[in-house]
Amino acid sequence: MASRVTVAGVGMIPFTTPRNSESYDVMGERAARIALADAGVDYALVQQAYVGYV
């Protein structure tokens, strides 16, 4: 691969189905905000983001 990838921050939250907690978009936003804070990165500087769960 010719591309450089950097994992700068991680945001982990408890994951449950939306019927037992917040909706997926709310949980995703919360995890993203935690990851950005962990990395010390302002949202305006983000060019791409990838998410996943197991």
Domain coordinates of the chain in residue numbers? Answer: 1-54
Which ranges constitute the DSSP H helices of 1-54?
Answer: 24-39
CA 24 to CA 37: how far, in whole Å? 20
pLDDT value of position 50: 74
0.75 exceeded by pTM? no
- Residue 8's nearest CA partner among 50, 53, 54, 29 is 50
Q: Which residues of the chain have pLDDT under 50?
A: none
